[in-house]
Chains A and B, each alone.
Chain A
Amino acid sequence: MSQTSGATPTTMALNNTDAAAQTIPPPARTIPMQVAAPARIRQVLINTSLLAIGAAFLLPLLWLLLAAFNPHATASLSAPRFSLHNFHYALQSGAGGAIFNSLYLAGVSTVVTTVFSTLAGYGLSRRRVPFKGVILIGVLFLSALPVTMLIIPTYQMFVTFGWLNSPFYTSLVLGATALPFAVWLLKNFIDQVPREFEEAAAAEGANELRILWRVIVPLALPGILVSAILTFINSWGSFVIPLILDANPGESPAAVGIYQFMSANGQVQFGPLAAYGLLFSIPVIILYVISSRWLSGGFSFAGG
Chain B
Amino acid sequence: MTASTGSFGSPSLAVRPAERDDADRLRLSTFAWVSPAAVLVGVFFLAPICYALYLGFTNLELLGPHASSYSFTGLANIQRMVHDPVFWKSVWLTVVFVVGSGIIAQTILGLVLALLGQRAHVSVRISVGALVVLAWVLPEVCVAFMWYAFGQAGGLLSQIVGHPGTNLLSSVPLLIVCVANAWRGTAFSMLVLSAGLRNVPSEVDEAAQLEGASYLRRLFQVTLPIIRPTLMTNMLLITLGTIGDFTLIFAMTQGGPGNDTAILPVYMYIEAFQFNELGYGAAIALALIVLGALLSVLYIRQLRPELRRAGNP
Contact = CB atoms under 8 A, between A and B. Distances in A.
B246 A303 contact: no
Contact of A18 (B46, B122, B272): B122
Given A61-B131, A129-B34, A172 B145 contact: no
Given A144-B296, A233-B137, A136 B310 contact: yes
Nearest to A154: B48
Contacts of B152: 75, 268
A294 interface: no
B310 A191 contact: yes
B14 interface: no
A144 B251 contact: no
A128 B23 contact: yes
A59 interface: yes
Interface residues of B, number: 118
Interface residues of A, number: 111
Given A125-B313, A179-B45, A284-B138, A18 B285 contact: no
Main secondary structure on chain B at its contact with chain A?
helix
A29 interface: no
For the residues of A in contact with B, the DSSP-based class is helix
Contact of A76 (B40, B155, B311): B155
A63 B146 contact: yes
Given A76-B156, A191-B310, A60 B37 contact: no
Contacts of B120: 46-47, 50
B141 A60 contact: no
Contacts of A34: none
Contacts of B251: 239, 258-259, 262
Given A50-B120, A302-B192, A57 B132 contact: yes
Interface in A37-93: 43, 46-47, 49-51, 53-54, 56-61, 63-64, 67, 74-77
A33 interface: no
A280 B33 contact: no
A36 interface: no
B288 A146 contact: yes
Nearest to B296: A144
A294 B180 CA distance: 28
Interface of A: 1, 4-5, 15-20, 30, 43, 46-47, 49-51, 53-54, 56-61, 63-64, 67, 74-77, 112, 115-117, 119-120, 122-130, 132-133, 136-137, 140-142, 144-157, 172-173, 175-177, 179-180, 183, 187-188, 191, 199, 202-203, 205, 208, 233, 236-237, 239-240, 244, 255, 258-259, 262-263, 268, 270, 273-274, 277, 280-281, 284-285, 288, 292, 296, 299-300, 302-304
30 contacts: A1-B122, A16-B119, A17-B197, A46-B120, A50-B125, A51-B124, A60-B135, A63-B146, A75-B149, A76-B155, A115-B36, A116-B37, A122-B33, A127-B23, A128-B23, A129-B34, A145-B289, A148-B245, A153-B47, A156-B60, A180-B45, A255-B247, A258-B251, A259-B144, A262-B145, A270-B149, A281-B137, A281-B142, A296-B195, A300-B195
